[in-house]
Amino acid sequence: MTTKLFTTPKPNPQATIRLFCFPYAGGAPSIFIPWLDKLPAHIEIVLVQLPGRGARLMEPPHDKMHLIIEELMQHSDFITQKPCVFFGHSLGSRVAYELAYTLQKANKTLPVKMIASASRAPHLASQKQPLHHLPKQEFIKKLRELNGTPQEILANAELMDLFLPLLRADFEIADCYRAEPCPLPLPIDVFFGHDDIDISQAQRDAWQSLSSFPVQQHAFNGDHFFINTLSDQVIAKVSDILASL
């Protein structure tokens, strides 16, 4: 399926599992392109492309979690069409959880697995200074410190003007959204970086409150954006997890 919201760069009709990939705040689904040829043959990757990025760059971004979920749930039949796994990094993990929670409430089929990468459990409040309302230069300074926005964008005033609405919208959700704590009948694996100063062990451990299965944690020798700097290791671990499904 290829729509504005979902892109399947490498269709695999014989796949038995779909892997839905949710990027981090300010991130585009293109971060998952290196995964396409490196996962088990029974997996089909579906990239989630929300407004304000990629091919939807000129669409107003969602600045509330419920708006993201409402758009995703319009395609709930496709999401639940065959067994699937949700992978999200940072804010993407919390989007994935909220979608699973909403599918549960709607009596829809849940994913067979969720992988939450570099994220606090979504029912916990953020302990960081809110960013989305900061004046432009302070906001850009914070983005530079977070090290997740490409330097070529941060250094280009015109590109920053183009991407600021998306970044502010994503960080508003990251700053303000709190999930309803509900243990889902859904196995969850948690990825984290040893050097990630944004996520504490207690915030990671709290994912256990959201699953009726034992939550497995997997460490990487990187910071918050180890998904970029250690992509081969992340892909290898995801492959190991998916190979067992």
Tell me the catalytic residues. Answer: 90
CB atoms within 10 A of CB 77: 9
The encoded tokens of residue 10 equal: 């490498």
Secondary structure (DSSP) of 155-203: T-HHHHHHHHHHHHHHHHHHHH--PPP--BS--EEEEEETT-TTS-HHH
| 3 state SS of 48 | strand
185's CB contacts (< 8 A; 6+ apart) are 110, 212, 213
Report how far residue 50's alpha carbon sits from residue 52's, in angstroms, rounded to the nearest whole number: 7
Q: In 60-144, at which residue ranges do the beta strands (DSSP E only) sit? A: 84-89, 113-117
